């Protein structure tokens, strides 16, 4: 299989002035095309920083990150913005929908930024909403939708640009158990159809749906859960 996202020795250091904080400590990670990876870790483990780098929202302090064969550190700010818009799809815990816009218009937004003509973006948004089971709710605003439905709109927005990689950051954190199950079923269907998905989560139920799980603690990746990584001591 082909590596879609490839990290080698990635470090991220934040300089607060008085002290330097190393958030990532030499990360090696490969995400292949068609993969479904869950990244688990407690608060402060570095998983959000890792997600930001995978999503080209930040760049490493050192090491190498290649997305679809291109080194991210060599990209300009304009090129990074184009990558985020066209090649990556984001799903967030808080949905990040504009309350004044309908589901249809929210899903169209990435295509507006990409300069897609109105007729084409309307059709693509319609198809994306039907793909997540919300074709009949496309004219509803977020406040008229349940939490699970709002997250489905978020997933449709992530899909509408036909991205190479979908990044989901705690996508079920604000959902009840029924909506969580529905969203995870949707991710299963998307992955079965060939979509590459990376999920950042602290929930075992979410991680269990992925094809593989990696764990992050203190900025380092391990295949083992916390109890094993700590030699049986989970303190």
The residue with tokens 């992530």 is 158
- Residue 106 carries which DSSP code? H
User: Using one digit for the tens of pLDDT, what is the confidence trace for 29-87?
Assistant: 999 999 999 999 988 899 989 999 999 999 999 999 999 999 998 899 999 999 999 89
Q: Is 52 strand, coil or helix? A: helix
pLDDT band with cut points at 50, 70 and 90 for residue 233: very low
pLDDT score at 232: 42
CA distance 183 to 223: 25
Q: Show the beta-strand stretches assigned E in 33-170.
A: 36-40, 62-67, 70-71, 88-92, 165-169
The model's pLDDT over 92-138, given as tens digits with 9 standing for 90+, comes to 989 999 999 999 999 999 999 889 999 999 999 999 999 999 999 99
The domains located in the chain, with CATH, are 36-57+76-224 (3.40.50.300)
- Rg (alpha carbons) of the chain, rounded to whole number: 18
Model-level pTM?
A: 0.90
Average pLDDT over residues 162-178: 92
Residue range 7-23: average pLDDT?
91
Planar angle of CA 225, 230, 234, nearest 5 degrees: 75
- Please give the Cα distance from 86 to 61 (Å, whole number): 25
């Amino acid at each position: 299989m082909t590596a879609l996202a490839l990290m080698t020795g990635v470090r991220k250091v934040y300089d607060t002035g008085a002290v330097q904080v190393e958030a990532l400590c030499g990360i090696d990670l490969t995400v292949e095309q068609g993969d479904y990876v869950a990244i688990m870790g407690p608060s402060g483990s570095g998983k959000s920083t890792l997600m930001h780098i995978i999503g080209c929202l930040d760049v490493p302090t050192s090491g190498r990150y290649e997305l679809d064969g291109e080194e991210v550190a060599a990209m300009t700010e304009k090129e990074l913005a184009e990558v985020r818009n066209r090649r990556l799809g984001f799903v967030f815990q808080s949905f990040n929908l504009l309350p004044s816009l309908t589901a249809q218009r929210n899903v169209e937004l990435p295509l507006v930024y990409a300069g897609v003509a109105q007729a084409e973006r309307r059709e693509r948004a319609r198809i994306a909403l039907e793909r997540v089971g919300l074709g009949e709710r496309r004219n509803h605003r977020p406040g008229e939708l349940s939490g699970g439905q709002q997250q489905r709109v978020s997933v449709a927005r992530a899909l509408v640009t036909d991205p190479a990689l979908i990044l989901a950051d705690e996508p079920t954190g604000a959902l009840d158990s029924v909506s969580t199950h529905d969203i995870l079923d949707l991710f299963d269907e998307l992955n079965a159809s060939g979509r590459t998905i990376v999920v950042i989560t602290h929930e075992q139920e979410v991680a269990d749906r992925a094809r593989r799980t990696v764990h992050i603690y203190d900025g380092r990746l391990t295949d083992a859960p916390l109890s094993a990584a700590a030699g049986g001591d989970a303190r």
